C-alpha cells in the first residue's frame, strides 16, 4: 500500500475503494462484486456462469435469466438466444421470426405470432381449441371453429356455437348454408273448377322431419304434404296467386326462407262459363271445350249434367241381370256415372205385380207368375245443366221366372205291356214341359199327363217318381219326389178247358194260359161245389211261378195241366161243380163277370190233398163218377195276395 505495505484483497462482498482491492476477477462497486455473467465462488473468486444448456448446481451458476435444472435452461415463456441469454417470448399478435419466439402454442405466421388452425387467441398468451357447431361457448371472438358459426344466444339453450342469421347447419356437409337453399322448386300447378294443386321438389330430403311449408293466399289451404299443397273452396274461372315459404325448425332456431311466388293461376271454367283457351280453360275431365269463348260439351248429342258432359248412352242402364225365384225377381244393373238419374220400370205382361225401387243399382219385382216370360223396360232420365232439357232413354231385358214344382198326386195306369199312362197335379203358373223320372226311365211331357213306354212295372207295387218342371228357356223347378202304386188289373179268362184221361177215380184237366194285354197272371183258383149248396167243398189257389210277370208275347198256346184225384163217395146223388179261375192282382171294386168253365161231377168225397207248404204245378183229383160237361157264367173272386194253398174238406152226400 503506497509501495510500503502489502494489504490482503477484499473478498467479494467486502468494502473496497478500487478494483485492485478486490480478489480475483471481482470488481469494486463500493463492495467487491463479480462482473456480469460470473458468479461468486465462496466469496474468494468470480467464476464465469454456465451458458444455457451447460451443467449447473444452482440458478446463480446459470447465465442471464436461465435457471438451473441440472443444466441451465430458459424459464417458461422465454427462449434461448445464442445460449447466453433467455429472451421473453412474444405475445400473440407481436412480431416474430420463428415459432419458438411465440408464446405457448402460438406459431409465427408471416412474422406475427398467431394461434394455429382450429384454435383461437384466448388472452394474447394462450391458444385454445375452437368449438364445434352446437357446443356451449362463452362469447369470445373466434371461439367457434366452423366458418359461419359464432357464439350466440339461441334463446332456448343459452350461448352456443351456431350458424349466423339466415343460415342453417348442414350436418352432411358440416357447414352452414344459406336458408334460401331450402326454397321450394315448384314443378307443377294444376286446377279444377274450385281447387288448385301446387307441387314442388322437396328441398333437402334429409331435413324432411324438420321442414314445414307456409302457403299464403285465398282459399282453404292444406299444407300437410311435404311435396305440395292443395287449395280448395275457390271460384271457377278466377285468378289466384300464392306465396310459399320453407320453415326450418331445429333445437337452436326457427328460420324461414324468402317467399317463392307462383304465377297467376286460373281455376277451370264449368259448363257455360267464359273461357279463352289460354289462361281461362274449361274443365278437362268433363270434357268441355272452349267454343265461342264459352265452355260447352263438344257434340250436339251430349249435354252437361252436374258439370260433366254425358249422352243418353251414359244414363242408359247396362249389364242387366235377373235373379229369379218362383214369384219374385231382382233386376240388377251397372250404376250410372250420373248421380241424379231417375229410374222407372214397365213390365209386360202387367198382372198385378209390384215394384220395390228402382234405384241406381236395380229393383225388386214381386207378385210374378211362376215360369212366365216377362219383358222389362227400364227408363232412365235426368235433367241437363243450363239447357233444362230432360234426357231420357230406355233399356229392355227379357227374363223368365223359375217354374214352380209339381204338386204331386202321381198315378200310373197300365194301358199295355210295359206302357203306362202317368198323371199328376200340374204346377201353378206357366210350364213349358215336365220331366218325369220313374225307375230311371225319363219321359218329357207338355202336360200333366204322359204315356211312358218301356217301363216294366209290376201291378199293385209301389214305385218312386220325380217330376221337374221347366220354363221356356230351360230353367228348372225344384224337384218333386213321391211314391205311387201301380194299378191292379184283372187277368184274362181261361180258354180251351179240356178234361182228359177220365177214369173212375181220376181225371186230367188242361187249359190255355191267358194272353196279353190282359195278363197280370200270378196263378189259378180251383173250386169244387155241390149243386144244391152255395159254399165250396174244395177251394185251391195254385201259384204260376213260370208266368209271374212273364206273359207270352204272341198268341202261341201255353198249356198248363192239372191232375185231380177224388175218392168216390158213398152218396150216389152228389153233384160236384169244377171251377177254374185265373188269379191275378186287380182292384176290388165293381168287378165284372167273366165266363168260366163248369163241370158237373156225380158222387164222390173230397179228401184232404197233400199240398202243405209247397208250390204246386199239378194236382190229381180221383173221381168215381162220370162227367157231364156244362158251360155257365160265374163271378170272379178277387185275390190281391200272393197265392197260398188253401182247401176245405167236406164229405159229399
Specify the pLDDT at position 461. 76
Specify the pLDDT at position 338. 79
Specify the pLDDT at position 294. 83
Do 547 and 572 touch, CB atoms closer than 8 A?
no
CA pair distance 215, 229, nearest whole angstrom: 8
CA 302 to chain centre: 38
Question: Which is higher by pLDDT, 57 or 304?
Answer: 57
Grid coordinates given for 90: 412474444
Mean pLDDT along residues 633-649: 29
pLDDT tens for each residue of 508-519? 556 666 554 344
| Residue 62 reports pLDDT greater than 70 | yes
CA pair distance 205, 196, nearest whole angstrom: 25
Specify the pLDDT at position 556. 39
CA pair distance 591, 47, nearest whole angstrom: 180
Rounded percentage of the chain residues whose pLDDT exceeds 70: 71
DSSP 95: B
Q: Which residues contact 488 (CB under 8 A, 6 or more apart)?
A: 459, 460, 520, 584, 585, 586, 587, 640
| Residue 641 reports pLDDT greater than 70 | no
In terms of C-beta density within 10 A (0-12 exposed, 13-18 middle, 19 or more buried), how is residue 179 classed? Answer: buried
CA pair distance 57, 46, nearest whole angstrom: 15
641 closest CA partner among 593, 567, 586: 586
pLDDT tens for each residue of 186-229? 999 998 888 999 999 888 777 777 888 899 999 999 877 888 99
Cis peptide before 287 (omega within 30 of 0): yes
Cis peptide before 517 (omega within 30 of 0): yes
| Residue 595 reports pLDDT greater than 80 | no
Residue 574 phi/psi, 5-degree rounding, is -70, 135
| Residue 635 reports pLDDT greater than 80 | no
Mean pLDDT along residues 1-15: 78
Q: Which residues contact 98 (CB under 8 A, 6 or more apart)?
A: 108
CA pair distance 402, 203, nearest whole angstrom: 68
Specify the pLDDT at position 289. 81
CA pair distance 356, 318, nearest whole angstrom: 19
Mean pLDDT lowest among 324-333, 405-414, 626-635? 626-635
Residue 647 phi/psi, 5-degree rounding, is -155, 160
Specify the pLDDT at position 590. 31
Task: Identify which of 110-124, 201-215, 536-550, 574-588 has the greatest average pLDDT.
Answer: 110-124
Question: Which is higher by pLDDT, 603 or 207?
Answer: 207
Specify the pLDDT at position 574. 36
Question: Which is higher by pLDDT, 408 or 525?
Answer: 408
Specify the pLDDT at position 542. 55
Collapsing DSSP to helix, strand or coil, 341 comes out as: coil
With cut-offs at 50, 70 and 90, classify the pLDDT of residue 233.
very high
586 closest CA partner among 495, 520, 513: 520
CA pair distance 484, 439, nearest whole angstrom: 12
| Residue 327 reports pLDDT greater than 70 | yes
| Residue 636 reports pLDDT greater than 80 | no
Handedness of CA 304, 306, 310, 313 (dihedral sign): negative
Specify the pLDDT at position 386. 55
Mean pLDDT along residues 158-162: 89
- How many other C-beta atoms are found inside a 10 Å radius of the C-beta of residue 93? 14
CA pair distance 198, 265, nearest whole angstrom: 10
Side by side, the strands of the sheet bearing 185-191 are: 185-191, 196-201, 228-232, 220-222
Grid coordinates given for 13: 462482498
Mapping DSSP onto H, E and C, the string for 18-54 reads: CHHHECCCCEECCEEECCCCEEEECCCEEEECECCCC
pLDDT tens for each residue of 241-287? 999 999 988 777 788 999 999 888 988 887 778 888 788 888 876 67
Helix (H) or strand (E) holding 434: strand 433-438
Specify the pLDDT at position 392. 82
517 closest CA partner among 472, 459, 574: 459
pLDDT tens for each residue of 280-309? 888 876 677 888 888 877 765 567 776 677
Domains and CATH numbers, the chain: 19-88 (no CATH), 179-266 (2.60.40.10), 312-400 (2.60.40.10), 410-485 (2.60.40.10), 495-635 (2.60.40.10)
CA pair distance 303, 308, nearest whole angstrom: 8
pLDDT tens for each residue of 134-151? 899 988 888 999 988 999
CA pair distance 496, 417, nearest whole angstrom: 24
CA pair distance 282, 275, nearest whole angstrom: 7
Task: Identify which of 347-351, 451-455, 628-632 has the greatest average pLDDT.
Answer: 347-351
| Residue 576 reports pLDDT greater than 80 | no
The size of the chain, in residues, is 653
Q: CA end-to-end span of the chain, whole Å?
A: 227
| Residue 316 reports pLDDT greater than 90 | no
| Residue 443 reports pLDDT greater than 60 | yes
Mapping DSSP onto H, E and C, the string for 587-627 reads: CCCCCCEEEEEEEEEECCECCCCCCCCCCCCCCCECCCCCE
Collapsing DSSP to helix, strand or coil, 563 comes out as: strand
Specify the pLDDT at position 514. 58
pLDDT tens for each residue of 430-441? 999 999 998 888
Mean pLDDT along residues 529-535: 48
What is the residue-averaged pLDDT of the chain?
A: 75
- How many other C-beta atoms are found inside a 10 Å radius of the C-beta of residue 364? 15
DSSP characters for 364-401?
EEESPPTT-EEEEEEEEEEEPTTT--EEEEEEEEEEEP
Rounded percentage of the chain residues whose pLDDT exceeds 90: 24
CA pair distance 423, 451, nearest whole angstrom: 9
Specify the pLDDT at position 603. 30
Specify the pLDDT at position 582. 54
Mean pLDDT along residues 531-535: 48
Q: Which residues contact 562 (CB under 8 A, 6 or more apart)?
A: 508, 509, 510, 511, 524, 526, 542, 580, 618, 619
Specify the pLDDT at position 400. 92
| Residue 615 reports pLDDT greater than 90 | no
Amino acid at each position: 500500500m503506497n509501495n510500503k505495505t502489502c494489504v490482503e484483497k477484499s473478498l467479494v462482498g467486502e468494502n473496497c475503494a478500487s478494483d485492485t482491492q478486490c480478489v480475483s476477477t471481482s470488481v469494486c462497486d463500493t463492495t467487491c462484486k463479480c462482473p456480469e455473467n460470473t458468479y461468486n465462488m465462496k466469496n474468494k473468486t468470480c467464476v464465469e456462469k454456465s451458458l444455457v444448456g451447460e451443467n449447473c448446481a444452482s440458478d446463480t451458476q446459470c447465465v442471464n435469466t436461465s435457471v438451473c435444472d441440472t443444466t441451465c435452461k430458459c424459464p417458461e415463456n422465454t427462449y434461448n438466444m445464442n445460449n447466453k441469454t433467455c429472451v421473453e417470448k412474444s405475445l400473440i399478435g407481436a412480431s416474430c421470426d420463428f415459432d419458438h419466439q411465440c408464446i405457448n402454442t402460438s406459431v409465427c405466421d408471416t412474422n406475427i405470432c398467431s394461434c394455429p388452425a382450429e384454435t383461437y387467441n384466448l388472452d394474447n398468451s394462450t391458444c385454445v381449441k375452437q368449438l364445434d357447431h352446437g357446443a356451449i361457448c362463452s362469447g369470445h371472438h373466434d371461439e367457434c371453429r366452423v366458418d359461419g358459426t359464432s357464439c350466440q344466444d339461441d334463446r332456448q339453450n343459452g350461448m352456443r356455437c351456431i350458424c349466423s342469421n339466415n343460415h342453417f347447419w348442414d350436418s352432411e356437409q358440416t357447414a352452414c348454408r344459406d336458408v334460401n337453399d331450402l326454397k321450394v322448386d315448384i314443378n307443377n300447378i294444376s286446377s279444377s273448377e274450385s281447387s288448385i294443386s301446387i307441387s314442388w321438389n322437396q328441398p333437402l330430403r334429409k331435413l324432411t322431419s324438420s321442414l314445414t311449408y307456409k302457403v299464403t293466399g285465398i282459399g282453404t289451404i292444406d299444407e300437410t304434404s311435404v311435396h305440395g299443397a292443395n287449395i280448395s273452396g275457390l271460384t271457377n274461372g278466377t285468378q289466384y296467386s300464392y306465396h310459399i315459404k320453407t320453415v326450418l325448425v331445429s333445437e337452436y332456431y326457427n328460420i324461414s326462407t324468402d317467399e317463392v311466388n307462383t304465377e297467376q293461376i286460373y281455376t277451370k271454367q264449368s259448363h257455360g262459363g267464359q273461357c279463352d283457351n289460354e289462361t281461362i280453360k274449361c274443365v278437362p275431365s268433363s270434357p268441355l271445350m272452349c267454343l265461342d269463348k264459352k265452355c260447352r260439351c263438344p257434340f250436339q248429342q251430349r249435354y252437361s249434367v252436374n258439370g260433366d258432359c254425358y249422352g243418353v248412352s251414359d244414363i242408359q242402364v247396362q249389364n242387366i241381370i235377373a235373379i229369379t225365384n218362383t214369384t219374385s225377381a231382382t233386376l240388377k244393373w251397372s250404376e250410372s256415372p250420373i248421380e241424379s238419374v231417375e229410374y222407372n220400370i214397365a213390365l209386360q205382361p202387367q198382372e198385378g205385380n209390384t215394384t220395390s225401387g228402382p234405384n241406381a243399382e236395380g229393383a225388386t219385382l214381386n207378385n210374378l207368375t211362376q215360369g212366365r216370360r216377362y219383358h222389362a223396360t227400364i227408363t232412365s232420365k235426368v235433367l241437363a245443366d243450363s239447357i233444362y232439357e230432360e234426357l231420357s232413354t230406355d233399356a229392355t231385358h227379357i227374363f223368365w221366372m223359375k217354374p214352380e214344382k209339381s204338386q204331386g198326386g202321381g198315378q200310373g195306369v197300365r194301358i199295355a205291356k210295359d206302357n203306362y199312362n202317368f198323371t199328376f197335379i200340374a204346377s201353378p203358373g206357366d210350364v213349358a214341359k215336365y220331366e218325369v223320372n220313374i225307375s230311371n226311365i225319363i219321359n218329357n211331357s207338355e202336360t200333366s199327363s204322359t204315356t211312358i213306354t218301356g217301363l216294366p212295372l209290376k201291378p199293385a207295387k209301389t214305385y218312386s217318381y220325380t217330376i221337374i218342371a221347366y220354363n221356356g228357356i230351360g230353367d228348372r223347378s225344384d224337384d218333386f219326389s213321391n211314391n205311387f202304386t201301380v194299378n191292379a188289373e184283372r187277368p184274362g179268362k181261361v180258354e180251351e178247358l179240356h178234361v182228359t184221361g177220365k177214369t173212375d177215380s181220376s181225371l186230367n184237366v188242361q187249359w190255355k194260359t191267358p194272353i196279353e194285354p190282359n195278363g197280370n197272371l200270378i196263378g189259378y183258383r180251383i173250386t169244387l161245389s155241390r149243386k144244391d149248396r152255395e159254399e165250396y167243398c174244395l177251394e185251391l189257389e195254385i201259384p204260376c211261378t213260370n208266368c209271374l210277370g212273364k206273359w207270352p208275347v204272341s198268341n202261341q198256346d201255353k198249356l198248363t195241366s192239372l191232375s185231380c184225384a177224388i175218392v168216390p163217395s158213398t152218396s150216389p146223388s152228389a153233384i160236384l161243380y169244377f171251377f177254374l179261375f185265373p188269379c191275378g192282382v186287380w182292384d176290388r171294386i165293381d168287378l165284372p163277370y167273366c165266363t168260366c168253365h163248369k163241370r158237373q161231377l156225380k158222387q164222390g168225397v173230397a179228401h184232404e190233398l197233400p199240398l202243405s207248404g209247397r208250390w204246386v204245378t199239378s194236382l190229381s183229383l180221383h173221381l168215381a163218377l162220370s162227367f157231364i160237361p156244362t158251360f155257365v157264367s160265374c163271378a170272379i173272386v178277387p185275390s190281391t195276395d200272393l197265392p197260398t194253398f188253401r182247401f176245405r174238406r167236406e164229405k159229399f152226400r
